[in-house]
Amino acid sequence: MNPVVHKRHNDLSKLLWYLFKEGRDDDHTDAHLVAAWDGAGDLERLEPPRGLDGRRDVRRLAALLAQPLRAARNPPRLTVWHCSIRNPPEDRVLSDPTWAEIARQVMDATGLAPIGDPRAVRWIAVRHSPNHIHLAATLVRQDGYTAWGWQDMINARRRCYELELRYGLRRVGPMDRTGHRRPTGAEVNKAKRLGHTMPARDELRQRVRAAAAASGNEAEFFARLADVGVLVNPRHSVTQPGEITGYSVALPGNTTAAGTPVYFSGGRLARDLTLPRLRQRWAGPHGQATSHAPVRVSTQARIDALNAAAVAVRGAAAAIGQLAGTDPQAAVAVAQAASDTLTAIAAAIEPRRPGPVTAAAELFDHAAREPNGHVARATPRSWDLRSLSRLVHLMGRLSGDKDTSAMLVLLLELARLADTLESLRHAQQRVHQAEAARRAAESLRAAAVNTTGRLGSPPATVAADVTGLPADTPTIIRPVAESSTRDEPALRGR
């Protein structure tokens, strides 16, 4: 059950006309009221009548809903509230009385119309297809006071989660504040119009995250963004002009009508991409930062680094499982560092055209993210993982067959790590993140199958994983030094 609170506005008649129109969309088949505010009376008398042209006349209903606005003591600037609640196609079809109860529960959860409050706002619930309803309300109570509806989306999502359990529906999960900022409809349409594969906001988020994973401090970060063609605008402190307090980024081809670049701050891309959050990411266990100078490496050195990364990722999977119950923040630090490692690997394998590894990196990043963009304090193991991710990035594009063979082992270890993270998120009842981890594992295994196709027969030690046999088959790779475990239990490879 997925509630969506839409943007507030003032055009009540237009909204009602949309809710009651029929015949133009596949899901507008039988528009009718299923619930209304306390004291509204018989729903049949509230139903908008049909005019001679067959359209519903919503004027009387609009006047009734807007009546409290005329007595408002402190009216809001935007007075119309709109929420849609949709069930997945695989859910059973609910009856009108059930949808009516769901509507009353959601209005109660948002605080707009608490159950048993006769002076609450006026609202209606319209059902115009089997699997969803729309709620429409005016944001002035019948006693003249404004109903602000603070955190309405979060509260609606929480109540819907309870209703999913009550009615045996597919569990979508409560809102967990781990998602990144989505492109607006205008941004999506602009990308389509210009023939771009993705909106500018999404492309910038991917580039910024890759640059952050490959950097050890903000100077490296800004330099890497410039290297990949991103326009960077650092924001300086007003009180201390030499201090950088934030940044914004833009793509050269994404401009306004006047031809100026459209800039996005880090926080508008994702909560964990603000400069203060990035500084926390780059800080080591004792607050230190580091950097790597560009290096030229041999093929053998690249293979050694990939093998070291595979061992570190294997240890990270074990660490997450061991630390989840005793030190959750340390487990989160390892997961977030592993996300950076996967982001760097995706940039090395798919530098120009996003593929399954880039998709897996996006999904894994969501699965590893904490609410409100919180960045866990680094541990020695997470610090080692981040150092390896920077080293992988500095080695450049991975394309040779020997590189690819070592990469296959690493991809499968990352898939196992995603499986571990899925189990952790399920145990925490964070459904959205568990689903993201599961899909990340699927994408990584799809990338491994791709890699196998290019190489011919996979190495015997990893063939079982690629062909779908049990994923706990031991993987033999070149021995390298294990990551530091100064504050975590000793770990053994699988």
Give the SS3 label for residue 382: helix
Task: Give the pLDDT confidence score for residue 293 in this predicted structure.
Answer: 47
DSSP notation for 261-305: B--EEHHHH-GGGSHHHHHHHH--TTS-----------HHHHHHH
Categorize the per-residue pLDDT at 25 as very low, low, confident or very high, splitting at 50, 70 and 90: low
Least confident of 21-30, 448-457, 466-475: 466-475
Q: What is the pLDDT of residue 411?
A: 86
Q: Report helix angle 59-66 to 12-20, nearest 10.
A: 130
- List b or e across 10-23, with b for residues whose CB sees 16 or more CB atoms inside 10 angstroms: eebeebbbbbbeee
For the chain, what are the domain ranges?
2-167, 185-282, 299-466
pLDDT at residue 177 tops 90 = no
Residues 416, 317 contacting (CB under 8 angstroms): yes
pLDDT of residue 242: 82
pLDDT in tens, 348-407: 888 777 888 889 999 999 999 888 888 888 888 888 888 877 777 766 665 555 566 777
Distance between CA atoms of residues 139 and 381, nearest Å: 51
Q: Using one digit for the tens of pLDDT, what is the confidence trace for 404-453?
A: 677 788 888 999 999 999 998 888 888 888 989 999 999 999 888 776 54
8 A C-beta contact, residue 324 and residue 427: yes
Compute the 3-state secondary structure of the chain and give helix, strand, coil in percent, each to the nearest 5.
50, 10, 40
Check residue 100 and give its pLDDT: 96
Query: Which residues are bridge partners to 127 per DSSP?
Result: 32, 133
Return the closest-CA partner of residue 357 out of 434, 315, 418, 435: 418
Cα–Cα distance, 401 to 344 (Å, whole number): 19
Range 2-167: architecture per CATH: 2-Layer Sandwich (3.30)
Q: How many percent of the chain have pLDDT more than 70?
A: 83
Measure the CA–CA gap between 120 and 40, rounded to whole angstroms. 12
Q: Is the pLDDT of residue 294 over 80?
A: no
Bigger pLDDT: 75 vs 177:
75
Q: Are 161 and 100 in contact (CB under 8 A)?
A: no
Report whether 322 contacts 491 (CB < 8 A). Answer: yes
Confidence at residue 298, expressed as pLDDT on a 0 to 100 scale: 65
Over residues 129-144, mean pLDDT: 94
CA distances from 355 to 190, 347, 351, 445, 447 (A): 23, 10, 10, 13, 8
Task: Supply the mean pLDDT for the chain.
Answer: 82
What's the average model confidence in pLDDT over 96-117? 96
pLDDT(89) > 90: no
pLDDT of 487: 36
